[in-house]
Structures are given as C-alpha cells and as structure tokens.
Amino acid sequence: MEKLVSSRLPSQWGEYTIEAFGNEGDRFPHVVLHRGLGDEKTGEPVNVRVHSECMTGDVFASSRCDCGEQLAMALQHFKEQGGVLIYLRQEGRGIGLVEKLRAYNRQDDGMDTFEANRAGGHADDERNYDDALTILKALGIDNITLLTNNPEKIGHLEKAGIQVSRRPCLTKVTADNGDYLRAKSEITGHLM
C-alpha cells in the first residue's frame, strides 16, 4: 500500500489535504484527510480518528448507528484543533454493504448487531487496522489522541507501538440506535 495522490479539499469543516492510500488501480482506496499537520516529530500527540466506512451512516445519515455522527464530530474537532481522519474502506465492520443490509433485516427481526452478523456467517467484527498503522507510519505519527469508543482499536494500535491516549466520541442515544449502542457496550466493551 502506498500514497497514490494528494489534493486540496475545502469543506464545511475547513480546508484539508486529502490523500488516497492503496495500490495503483484501486477504485476505492482508503482515504486520509488531515488538517493542521506540521513536523510530527514534536512528540506532541496528534488528534486522529480511524473511521471505518459506513455508507448508511456517513452518507445517508442513518439513525440506526452512530457512525455519521462520530465522523462529523471528529471533523468538527479537527476544524478547531487540527488532526487526521483515516477513512478505512471496510464497510459493515468488514463484511461489506450487501451483508450489512442483510444483517439490518435480521436486526429488524429482533437480533442484536452481533447476532445478525453471526447468523450471516460472519464474526462479530472482521475489521483490520493494519492499513491504519501503515498510514500513520507514512505520515510520521506515533503519538496520538484517538477519537474512539472502541477498546479493540486502541489495543491494536498500542500493540504496534503507537502511543495512544483516548478522547471519547459520545453520541446521542435514540430510539433507532439504542439497542445497537447497548450491544456494542455489553458485547465488545465499547467505552460509552
């Protein structure tokens, strides 16, 4: 995996540098947005959000999850304080969009998000954070304040030698996402 291209991206959250990381010819590479980065050798932690793609939440503002809200929260934080968004192309906790939509149907029949994945033949979480580590190393970042509620993500990065402090990404509980957030807290230990 390598940096394929870099460009300027003005947005409602300020101006960012956007970079695509992947292999030449990838139609859907990982994306990195960063704002306010300089020489990262200062030793000061860099604000980082490692965000897994969620088309339903990020693009269509689904209220079934808190993904879109976490993404917007991170970008607003970076507008004010600078930081890096690593947008990993691993939809549906790594199972892809079609399987995620099938899992939605099972959730509508009473399963929690993890039971729905298992019923479709998947693990609770099939994501991998190795590409995020590669990107952090390419950016020269090894000390971060990670905007997350996911202890597995923290552990994966720390195990690879990244110094991590956590900033919570607390979102609103609604009638549509309450069971989802409760399952994440109770089953996978998300820090809510």
Q: What is the share, in percent, of the chain residues with pLDDT greater than 70?
A: 88
CATH 3.40.50.10990 in the chain is located at 30-90+128-188
pLDDT digits 0-9 by tens, 12-38: 999 999 999 999 999 999 999 999 876
Q: Which tokens hold the place of 78?
A: 């970076």
Going by C-alpha positions, the residue among 33, 42, 73, 67 that lies closest to residue 142 is 42
pLDDT band per the 50, 70, 90 thresholds, residue 150:
confident
Mean pLDDT of 152-170: 90
Q: What is the share, in percent, of the chain residues with pLDDT greater than 90?
A: 75
Catalytic residue, chosen from 35, 93, 102, 125, is 125
8 in catalytic set: no
pLDDT digits 0-9 by tens, 57-80: 999 999 998 899 999 999 999 999
What pLDDT sits at residue 152? 86
Going by C-alpha positions, the residue among 135, 156, 170, 159 that lies closest to residue 48 is 135
Cα–Cα distance between 190 and 167 in angstroms, integer? 13
pLDDT digits 0-9 by tens, 77-115: 999 999 999 999 999 999 999 999 999 999 999 999 999
Q: Which tokens hold the place of 144?
A: 């971060």
Cα–Cα distance between 29 and 89 in angstroms, integer? 7
What pLDDT sits at residue 74? 96
> Which residue bears the tokens 């099972």?
106
Q: What is the pTM of this model?
A: 0.88
Provide CATH code, domain 30-90+128-188: 3.40.50.10990
Catalytic residue, chosen from 35, 49, 102, 127, is 127
127 in catalytic set: yes
